[in-house]
Structure 1
Amino acid sequence: MVRTLASLPSGRVAKWVVLALWTLLLVPALLLAGKLGDVEENDNSAWLPGNAESTRIVDRAEKFRLADTLPAIVVYDRPGGVTPADMAKARADAEVFKGIRNVVGQPQGPVRAQDGKAIQTVVQVRKDRTGWEGIGKAVDALSGVGEANADGLGFHVTGPAGYASDSVKAFSEGGGLTTITAAVVIVILLLTYRSPVLPVLPLLTVGAALVTSEAVIYLLAKNAGLTVNKQTGFILTVLVFGAATDYALLLVSRYREELRRHEDRHEAMAEALHRSGPAIVASAATVAVSLTLLMLATLNSTKGLGPACAVGVLVGLLAMVTLLPALLVVCGRWIFWPVRPSYGSAGASGEGVWTRVGTAVSGRPRLVWIGTALVLGAMATGLFGLRADGLSNTDQFTGKPQTAVGEEIQSRHFPAGSGDPVFVVARAASAQRVRAALSAVPGVAGVSAPRVVAGEAVLLGELEDDPSSTAALRTVERARTAVHRIEGAHAQVGGNTAVTLDTREAAARDSAVIIPIVLVTVFLILALLLRAIVAPLLLMATVVLSFAAALGVGGLMFDHVFHFAGADASFPLLTFVFLVALGIDYNIFLVTRVREEALPHGTRRGALTGLSATGGVITSAGLVLAGTFAAMASLPLVFAAELGFAVAFGVLLDTVIVRSVLVTALTLDVGRWMWWPSGLFRRHDDPRPPSGTSDPEPALAGT
């Protein structure tokens, strides 16, 4: 039955049916994929959990026009001191600001700084039907007004609206990311296949998978309530390119082997799918299930990212086991030009790199795996210096946008929290008590008079510290404690600082809950696949150690080389899920081949043969995946750069060291106990040669 299913995409007639079906599928998919941006949500509710206080306050704040607006802080500065003409200019600009689309209410100011060197005007900007792009357009219009200042008066637009605009522009560079990712894949495939033609087919298949997955995600977001934001888009692109190309590498490698054993290319592809299909399906299923578990997150941005990326992986799997086999069979052997694998020809002669590695490891496997584990453990010590408690506004970008420059100028001349207050919504009857309690909170510089609408009051509290700083977060915590104690007030604290606080707390909870569940789930999948318990336990241990080492090195690099201020609160969880899920991919590729070879030849020879047969393709797959994630550094965002570096480094560490050295050494040392309690464990005694030799064990009798 399995062999029959495997032969379907490569059948003499079925291959044309597969191509026709994919062609019909891609016509509507292209149209729907282009609409993905229409269903993106980038406001607070799209990122925060529904039970967070800063989310629950949104409906109450709506009547005060605080829920869908962000303050843009316009700063004028002159080192020698602003003049009366500068003040007149600022007043005239404020009138112009009121006519800009998406600017709401009356501008606050202009206000002259106490040192007389700067002027500040606060403008409320709201999003429109285009989402946060509307805020970006309004900020651009505000900046355009300042371009008329040619007499030395500095002009900057900063504040939450300014940073939102910069973020939208950074995420909008996803088209460039796609181009860079595709270029990385092309280069690696050219080096791997040494054919100028063959890489075209995997690349076309990946493109089809990406478009189709975007169309499916659009439908889920529009009709099933899936939360999609800008972050989802660029991670999806990288993951589909990387994971789907990995599956292509494994399939093409096995297909090339089978073309030398079968004269008919249809039979060769059917056998290749039969042999490699279970490993590819198991790998994709493991990644998809791990990503789907992110739905358990309370942070909506993480909750939506998981199933969206799982869709990308599953569609990539479908494309690689249907569309790619059909294309390869249609094209025939010439697609491998200039080195076509002809029937009856021999493969690469001589000892390859991975054969030599296996021979070296087999001499003293216990010493090798202990030494490797100690080195990885030492690398993991960098975890103690990793600061993953969120990034301030100014630290979110790899460069220094004008918004950050404007904030520096604004903070030199005005209170750090001016223009971006926290707000408290409470029952009107309790407004004065709430005001008194909020005014007494350390870190609150001042509280506005209550504004009452429909029986509820809103009060604005100016912070003494930078609204995105740790000190400001502690102030919000104290403010919540203070106003929650007021009986009958039903007071809630919101604002951008409160959003940051709730995001960090939700991310910490998600990591504590999801990481253990992912570990247990992946272990069960491996146990079912390998029909064993010891092997999955050891493989999981190597993956966790590899993750810790990658995160440790990442922490050191972020701090001492890249000089980043810290990491996003969701960074550890996302890095864990990607590295564990994708790391298990390579475990599955290697160990399923080891098990296949161990059935007739025993575990020792199976380990060496499996490494020799899969080492090259696993390394190539790791290079592709690492290259695609490294391409994320092209975005001017610290989060993207850190996630890209950590996953890229972790994948390379996994493929070059953990799979080839650590897992192979463990398999050689543990021997047949790897397969306990399966039938393979009971079928032979797994004899070993004397220490220091590398002779493989004799073949199994009767197999």
Structure 2
Amino acid sequence: MTTRAELRQAHPRPRRLLRGILSGVVILLWLAGAALGGPLFGKVDEVSSNERTAYLPDSAPATEVQNALGDFLGSDTLPAVVVFESDTAIDDDLQQQLTDALDDATGAEGVQKDVSPVLVSDDGLAAQAFVPIEADAEVGDIAAGLSADLNKAVPDGVTVYITGPAGFTADLIAGFSGIDGILLLVALLAVFVILIIVYRSLLLPIVVLSTSLFALCVALLVVWWAAKFGILLLSGQTQGILFILVIGAATDYSLLLVARFRDELRATDDKWAALRLAWRGSFEPILASGGTVIAGLLCLLLSDLKSNSTLGPVAAIGIVFAMLAALTLLPALLGLFGRAAFWPRRPRFDPHHADDENPLDGSGLWARLARLIRRRPRLIWITTTVVLAIAALGVTQLDASGVPQSDLVLGASEARDGQQVLGEHFPGGSGSPVYVLVDEEQMQDAADVLLADEGIDGVSVTASDSPSGTAPITSDGVQAFGPPGTPAPEPTVADGRVLLQGTLTVAADSAAAEQTVIDLRAELDPMKALVGGVTATSLDTNIASIHDRNLIIPVILVVILLILMLLLRAILAPVLLILTTVLSFGSAVGVAALVFNGVFDFPGADPAVPLYGFVFLVALGIDYNIFLMTRVREESQRHGTREGILRGLALTGGVITSAGLVLAATFAALSVIPILFLVQIAFIVSFGVLLDTFVVRSLLVPALTYDIGRRIWWPSKLSRTPQQDRALDAHDDTAQTP
């Protein structure tokens, strides 16, 4: 086996030339991948969807109803509810002006012809119309254009709002519109500033950021084409997380390799030998760290909700390319630049530099902290555990039962304002009906159930020969249009079933509307009727999210525990690392709950927020413990367990802290996207990473493992310390302070 001394010998010139050529080839390959993936940043919306029903399980009732709507309503459309609010009563002349304005504004491509008549409210101060927009059209652009055209065309004193499913979809599209631009810009700028402070160099931050950006470009290339061919589902939410995850992870892995490279340059005159030593020392922790994150992310494949299950492979692809870039592109760049990459603080070769130089003798922060832990380990780990446990009590204050669709977008929302106006003048659920799919012979029985429910204002049945496409249905049956004696329209029948539509008395995204759907499903179950629509979709999404959360969190814990056992060749250390990481997660969520409720006054949280927070904090938080404990194990084999713990902390403190700051900054960048879910994830993960970096990994884990001593490696051979190390441990035991 090649020794470190042999590796540090200068390589012959032909070999150095070959390494230079190989590095150039690697860089060119990554450049080619980035050239293909870079232009796709502005085209992600071509292969992504923010339609919530697209992510429900195929077996969900709302999904089955959604899939059948085309048989009754024609082409797949997304209804926009146009609300006109007037300062004065709307008479026949004003109603005609509104109709003319609507006719002129709805001639755009993507808007279907069968726009409903303008219906005036009972109080005469508002009117509404339903505009069907093709689901595969540019819903955001059409809704914005429709709003602008109508506001110009209506008389003074009339305000126009675009709401309903199309209005809220347009809000989401507008909210996600900054992902390709402002999100990337903020994330990269934050990382660049941190790297400048860490390295006090201009070239090295550019090298590291280039590695992260190239990894993202190639990952996007793979993900984009996978979504294009229908292999993966992609949404704005998944896209934003992919961007942040790749930049943060690739930068973290790069920091680890760069730190090793800088250390080796001090002891090695030849840059290629130093690079090889640094690569060998970084390969295992980077691979273990990335593998742990990938394993945790792939556990999301167990999810019923496709927005969760599709995030797993998408994010895993990103982590794969983050690792590949850190282990191939970055070494190639560092090999070409050598010591010049660190200018103006180039590491100088010191022939007297020794591998076993004691890092605890220094005056730096991490050396001082290691010496403090040596003096008071038990007091430190008990105190930090108590503080974290108190913070974790706030978890009980987190309301993660779901939020109304109208609260998904933060800031101003025309759709939200329009829904409020709609509820003041019409039944709150206008434009977002409850759909009931039932056998034809049970149509009247199902209609009677809907009519008897206090949450339903009126019921109609889809009828193609009706002027409006639907016909009202009462306890006496389908009602006729026109003068007495006119025959009632025939309901549209598809596969022996009819489609009933119930108008909700309250807003479709309210808790009361969800309860109405729950009650209707219970009463209609004997008829095997299916209940769908906007409200049912939200309800089924929340049910699936809660199921996923309860199933996947324990599975992730078991998977990561097994990986740690294999990596550290021990049982006790992995168990304790998992417990400390879970405690850190609980503390982060507890503090987040108090901030969400007391500072930001958020309306609640999606059930997936704790799941996503857990996946990222546990999978990424365990990264830092892997970086620490792999170095601790390496040092323990040479210096004994307790000395190895302190050395590992002193040697990795700076790089892991820098990595934590980078990851926290990148996730914090998610908060620039005005989507409630992403803002909450940004806070939980950013705060949790900082907590894990500065408290758990810096204080709790080192102090706890130091207090336990060599038994931390049980049952591996390392737990049975040689005689000279037992003497050291015995000496340390006498210094413990209860």
One-letter amino acid of the structure 2 residue matched with residue 357 of structure 1: L
Shift of 1:16: 2.5
Give the structure 2 partner of residue 172 of structure 1.
Answer: 177
One-letter amino acid of the structure 1 residue matched with residue 171 of structure 2: D
- Equivalences for residues 47-58 of structure 1 within 5 A: 47-58=55-66
Give the structure 2 partner of residue 700 of structure 1.
Answer: none
One-letter amino acid of the structure 2 residue matched with residue 689 of structure 1: H
Shift of 1:198: 1.0
Q: Select the residue among 532, 549, 558 that pairs with 1:520.
A: 558
**Compared with structure 1, are the counterparts of its residues 259 and 432 closer, same or farther at alpha carbon in structure 2 (3 Å cutoff)?**
same
**What TM-score does the superposition give when structure 1 sets the normalisation length?**
0.93
Give the structure 2 partner of residue 145 of structure 1.
Answer: 150
Residue deviations 1:481-506, cap 9 Å, x none? 222212xxx42111110100000000
Q: Select the residue among 540, 560, 568 that pairs with 2:578.
A: 540
Q: 1:50 and 1:430 mapped to 2: Cα distance?
A: 25
Secondary structure of the residue aligned to 2:429 is coil
**Compared with structure 1, are the counterparts of its residues 397 and 31 closer, same or farther at alpha carbon in structure 2 (3 Å cutoff)?**
closer
Q: Does 1:689 align with 2:731?
A: yes
**Compared with structure 1, are the counterparts of its residues 601 and 140 closer, same or farther at alpha carbon in structure 2 (3 Å cutoff)?**
same
Q: 2:661 and 2:314 mapped to 1: Cα distance?
A: 24
Contact 1:608/1:664 (8 A) holds in 2: yes
Q: Select the residue among 415, 423, 429 that pairs with 1:403.
A: 415
Q: Does 1:502 align with 2:544?
A: no
Give the structure 2 partner of residue 344 of structure 1.
Answer: 350
Shift of 1:67: 7.7
Q: Select the residue among 158, 163, 180 that pairs with 2:163.
A: 158
Give the structure 1 partner of residue 482 of structure 2.
Answer: none
Q: Select the residue among 302, 305, 313 that pairs with 2:319.
A: 313
Shift of 1:196: 1.4
Give the structure 1 partner of residue 508 of structure 2.
Answer: 467
**What TM-score does the superposition give when structure 2 sets the normalisation length?**
0.89
Look at both structures and tell me which one has the larger radius of gyration over its CA atoms: 2
Q: 2:85 and 2:161 mapped to 1: Cα distance?
A: 9
**Compared with structure 1, are the counterparts of its residues 335 and 236 closer, same or farther at alpha carbon in structure 2 (3 Å cutoff)?**
same
Q: Select the residue among 453, 470, 478 that pairs with 2:493.
A: 453
Secondary structure of the residue aligned to 1:426 is strand
Contact 1:44/1:55 (8 A) holds in 2: no
One-letter amino acid of the structure 2 residue matched with residue 22 of structure 1: W
249-258 vs 446-455, which deviates more? Answer: 446-455
**Compared with structure 1, are the counterparts of its residues 32 and 564 closer, same or farther at alpha carbon in structure 2 (3 Å cutoff)?**
closer
Give the structure 2 partner of residue 698 of structure 1.
Answer: none
Residue deviations 1:49-85, cap 9 Å, x none? 1111111223322112278322212112234444544
Contact 1:364/1:692 (8 A) holds in 2: no
Q: 2:711 and 2:290 mapped to 1: Cα distance?
A: 27
- Equivalences for residues 265-344 of structure 1 within 5 A: 265-344=271-350
Give the total of aligned pairs. 688
- Equivalences for residues 68-217 of structure 1 within 5 A: 68-104=76-112, 106-128=114-136, 130=137, 133-134=138-139, 136-149=141-154, 151-174=156-179, 175-217=181-223
Q: 2:654 and 2:626 mapped to 1: Cα distance?
A: 15
321-330 vs 46-55, which deviates more? Answer: 46-55
One-letter amino acid of the structure 2 residue matched with residue 237 of structure 1: F
Q: 2:256 and 2:443 mapped to 1: Cα distance?
A: 66
Secondary structure of the residue aligned to 1:161 is helix
Secondary structure of the residue aligned to 1:462 is strand
Q: Select the residue among 629, 632, 639 that pairs with 1:601.
A: 639
330-339 vs 17-26, which deviates more? Answer: 17-26
Q: 1:566 and 1:692 mapped to 2: Cα distance?
A: 51
Secondary structure of the residue aligned to 1:225 is coil
354-363 vs 542-551, which deviates more? Answer: 354-363
Q: Select the residue among 389, 392, 397 that pairs with 2:404.
A: 392
Shift of 1:93: 2.5
Q: 1:549 and 1:677 mapped to 2: Cα distance?
A: 30
Q: 2:72 and 2:141 mapped to 1: Cα distance?
A: 22
Give the structure 2 partner of residue 631 of structure 1.
Answer: 669
Residue deviations 1:395-450, cap 9 Å, x none? 11221222222222222222211221111122222211111122223412221145
One-letter amino acid of the structure 2 residue matched with residue 523 of structure 1: L
Secondary structure of the residue aligned to 1:468 is coil
Give the structure 1 partner of residue 438 of structure 2.
Answer: 426
One-letter amino acid of the structure 1 residue matched with residue 694 of structure 2: V
Contact 1:136/1:164 (8 A) holds in 2: no
Secondary structure of the residue aligned to 1:198 is helix
Q: Which runs of 5+ in 2 are unaligned?
A: 464-491
Q: 2:697 and 2:124 mapped to 1: Cα distance?
A: 64
Q: 1:66 and 1:641 mapped to 2: Cα distance?
A: 38
- Equivalences for residues 370-381 of structure 1 within 5 A: 370-381=382-393
Residue deviations 1:434-483, cap 9 Å, x none? 11122223412221145323343111101122111111111111111222
Give the structure 2 partner of residue 563 of structure 1.
Answer: 601
Q: Which runs of 5+ in 1 are unaligned?
A: 696-703
Give the structure 2 partner of residue 42 of structure 1.
Answer: 50
Secondary structure of the residue aligned to 1:585 is helix
Contact 1:438/1:482 (8 A) holds in 2: no
393-402 vs 161-170, which deviates more? Answer: 393-402
Q: 2:386 and 2:75 mapped to 1: Cα distance?
A: 52
Q: Does 1:355 align with 2:360?
A: no
Q: 2:42 and 2:115 mapped to 1: Cα distance?
A: 37
**Compared with structure 1, are the counterparts of its residues 284 and 445 closer, same or farther at alpha carbon in structure 2 (3 Å cutoff)?**
same
Contact 1:103/1:138 (8 A) holds in 2: no
Q: Select the residue among 15, 20, 23 that pairs with 2:31.
A: 23
Shift of 1:605: 0.9
Contact 1:97/1:103 (8 A) holds in 2: no
Q: 1:668 and 1:165 mapped to 2: Cα distance?
A: 55
Contact 1:2/1:274 (8 A) holds in 2: no
One-letter amino acid of the structure 2 residue matched with residue 491 of structure 1: A
Identity of aligned residues (%): 42
Residue deviations 1:111-153, cap 9 Å, x none? 222222222222222222x5xx335424532442222335121
Shift of 1:105: 5.0
Secondary structure of the residue aligned to 1:114 is coil
Contact 1:58/1:67 (8 A) holds in 2: no
Q: 1:106 and 1:21 mapped to 2: Cα distance?
A: 53
Q: 1:2 and 1:122 mapped to 2: Cα distance?
A: 75
Shift of 1:578: 0.4
Secondary structure of the residue aligned to 2:204 is coil
Contact 1:359/1:694 (8 A) holds in 2: no
Contact 1:422/1:495 (8 A) holds in 2: yes
